[in-house]
Amino acid sequence: MTAKILITGAKGFFGTRFINRYQGEFEILGLDSKQLDITDNSKVIKTFDDFEPDYVIHAAAIAITDFCNQHPDVAYQVNVQGAINVAKACKTHQAKLVFISSEQVFNGNPEAGPYKETDHPIPDTIYGQNKLEAENTLRSILDDMWILRFTWLFGLPERNTSINPNVIWNALQALIKGSVMKERSNEFRGLTYVHELIEQFPKIFTIPYGTYHTGAHNSLSRYQIAEHILTELGQQHRLAEVLERYDAPKIRDVRLDTSKLGELGVNFTESKTAISQCLKEFHFT
Ligand SMILES: NC(=O)c1ccc[n+]([C@@H]2O[C@H](COP(=O)([O-])OP(=O)(O)OC[C@H]3O[C@@H](n4cnc5c(N)ncnc54)[C@H](OP(=O)(O)O)[C@@H]3O)[C@@H](O)[C@H]2O)c1
């Protein structure tokens, strides 16, 4: 029998691409915020009663850091309470949950990354705090769950998908607008090609439940990555370095050590190479 997957946040950057990829292979019910507001617990319960999913990918969230800082109550309702509603419904229906968390749980850690799953996260934004609180609460509700802490995803606009700010799209937008790109040389984070991540899901459904750092290794700064993208495009002169946002010489490092997942056979192409791959797939190089 075809497995049934319920995915929240179905109109988002990840959700739209996940559904396009697996429609037909799994029985997928993808719901956006208008079809299922996850803060409305009675609607969450009804959705589960009607569909009876085998797997749930909880991709709905308010993931805009500045918005969350400015509207902490709204962010909490969606990012924490909404996740709790979904997890409780999973428990009732014995559905296996993928809860998508974030590298941002480490954005206040004073020590350098890459961080392991055993490291103590210190989030210093509402979004990061929400994700960590949701993780901890969900662990007390449900055992059948994978918590995947994603690095920053990248991809390009495609038909019937949504697009979020990301390194490669930011670079192309700067080129289209004719502006000089400004990137920070004091920020380090993993950058994962969204399609490579989506391809890993059938394998992820077979690994032991637990918390996993998920995505590509990257040893380069945002500035160096932007330089790489623009060099690939023959536009390296269109880059300027800025440090001010994270108070240079302070370094912002939210890189994740993904070796736990790697040992289970879920591996990712290093960010610089994956970026070249993406540009090639879209025929920019
Ligand atoms: N993209 C990344 O780089 C990245 C990195 C780390 C972790 N993550 C996590 O990965 C997941 C997917 O990210 P994404 O990039 O696809 O985010 P996204 O594009 O912002 O999509 C999230 C979706 O959640 C929906 N949503 C917001 N409030 C809701 C509510 N009350 N009820 C139901 N749905 C609601 C939004 O729907 P509407 O637009 O209809 O409001 C939106 O389409 C999120 O949990 C995010 O925190 C993403």
Give the atom of ligand 1 at the shortest distance from the alpha carbon of 153. Answer: 3
**Which of 21, 93, 91 is CA-nearest to residue 51?**
93
Token couple for 67: 């918005």
The β-bridge partners of 152 are: 191
- 180: exposed, middle or buried (Cβ count in 10 Å: 0-12, 13-18, 19+): exposed
What pTM does this model have? 0.97
- Calculate how far, in angstroms, residue 60's C-alpha sits from the geometric centre of ligand 1: 4
Query: Cβ neighbours of residue 19 under 8 Å, at least 6 residues apart?
Result: 7, 10, 28, 30
Dihedral angle over CA of 10, 11, 12, 17, nearest 10: 70
**Residue nearest atom 37 of ligand 1, based on CA coordinates:** 33
254 ligand 1 Cβ < 6 A: no
- Measuring from atom 1 of ligand 1, which residue has the nearest CA? 153
Average pLDDT, consecutive stretches of 10 residues, N- to C-terminus, the chain (285 residues): 96 98 97 98 98 98 97 98 98 98 96 96 97 98 97 97 96 93 92 98 97 97 95 91 68 95 98 98 97
Q: How far is CA 179 from the centre of its chain?
A: 28
State residue 242's pLDDT score: 79
**How far, in Å, CA of 68 to CA of 75, rounded?**
5
Kindly report, residue by residue over 205-247, the tens digit of the pLDDT. 999 999 999 999 999 999 999 999 999 999 988 888 877 666 6
Please name the residue whose Cα sits nearest to atom 31 of ligand 1: 37
In angstroms, the CA 204 to CA 212 distance is 10
Angle in degrees, CA 37, 38, 40, rounded to 5:
75
- pLDDT (0 to 100) of residue 249: 62
- Check if the beta carbon of residue 107 is closer than 8 Å to that of residue 130: no
Give the model's pLDDT for residue 245: 62
Burial class (CB in 10 A: 0-12, 13-18, 19+), 170: middle
User: Please, what are the domains in the chain?
Assistant: 4-153+194-214 (3.40.50.720), 155-189+218-255+263-281 (3.90.25)
- pLDDT at position 42: 98
Question: 78 in ligand 1 pocket by Cβ < 6 Å?
Answer: yes
Please tell me if the CB atom of residue 37 comes closer than 6 angstroms to any atom of ligand 1: yes
Model pLDDT for residues 120-148, shown as the tens digit of each residue: 999 999 999 999 999 999 999 999 999 99
Preceding omega of 53 cis (within 30 degrees of 0) = no
CB of 134 sitting under 6 A from ligand 1: no
Q: What is the pLDDT of residue 126?
A: 98
pLDDT of residue 87: 98
